[in-house]
């Protein structure tokens, strides 16, 4: 008859072996299925061109089990939301959400109207990526002391940085 300590040790060895096998399969599966994404900057360029509108916010999201970039835009004082397929850059959907436009009318404080008058953000984001040799992960338009700016998270080889980009001049500074 085997001792309880021996049985426990055997069970532990089997559990570790199974866990290592499963982990190995997960790593192999992940490595082969890692999608190549178009990036936030390219998604912004596509969305701005498709609606002839200006950026309010952009980030990676999921919609109907599909990786998409959710892009919020301003056009003529109105709010629009666009989903861009993160893998192929196709426009998945464009929407003019009633509740968001109502919220903007009541509480926006001029952000929507200011964004609609800015130059397109796509070229500014592309120039920023080239300058810092990184990729924009998230961007948001804001008014800070009546100054139009983009708050940006960008990933480089050195890590992630939070930057502020003046929406008119394109000048950048670290986020405070």
Whether residue 81 is predicted with pLDDT greater than 60 in this model: the reply is yes
pLDDT at 14: 41
The encoded tokens of residue 171 equal: 């000048």
Domain residue spans of the chain: 1-34, 40-174
List beta partners, residue 154.
136, 161
8 A C-beta contact, residue 93 and residue 41: no
Q: What is the pLDDT of residue 12?
A: 40
pLDDT at 100: 62
Work out the pLDDT band at 90, boundaries 50, 70, 90: very high
The answer to whether the beta carbons of residues 154 and 129 sit under 8 Å apart is yes
Q: What is the pLDDT of residues 49-77, one digit of tens each?
A: 999 999 999 999 988 889 999 999 998 88
Question: Does pLDDT of 33 surpass 60?
Answer: yes
> Rounded distance, CA 55 to CA 172, Å?
17
Please give the model's pTM, rounded to 2 decimal places.
0.75
**Do residues 154 and 174 make contact, with C-beta atoms less than 8 angstroms apart?**
no
| CATH code of domain 40-174 | 3.10.450.40
The pLDDT of residue 159 is: 93
Q: Answer yes or no: is pLDDT of 108 > 90.
A: no
């Amino acid at each position: 008859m085997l001792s309880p300590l021996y049985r426990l040790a055997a069970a532990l060895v089997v559990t570790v072996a199974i866990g290592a096998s499963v982990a190995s399969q997960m790593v192999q599966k992940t490595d082969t299925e890692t999608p190549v994404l178009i990036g936030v900057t390219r998604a912004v360029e596509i969305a701005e061109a498709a609606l002839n509108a200006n950026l309010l916010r952009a980030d990676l999201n999921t919609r109907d089990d599909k990786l998409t970039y959710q892009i919020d835009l301003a056009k003529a004082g109105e709010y629009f939301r666009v989903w861009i397929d993160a893998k192929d850059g196709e426009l998945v959907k464009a929407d003019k959400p009633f509740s968001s436009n109502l919220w903007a009318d009541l509480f926006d404080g001029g952000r929507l109207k200011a964004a609609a008058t800015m130059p397109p953000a796509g070229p500014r984001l592309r120039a920023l990526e080239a300058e810092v040799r990184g990729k924009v992960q998230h961007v948001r338009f804001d008014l800070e002391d009546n100054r139009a700016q983009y708050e940006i998270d960008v990933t480089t080889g050195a890590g992630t940085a939070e930057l502020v980009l003046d929406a008119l001049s394109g000048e950048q500074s670290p986020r405070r």
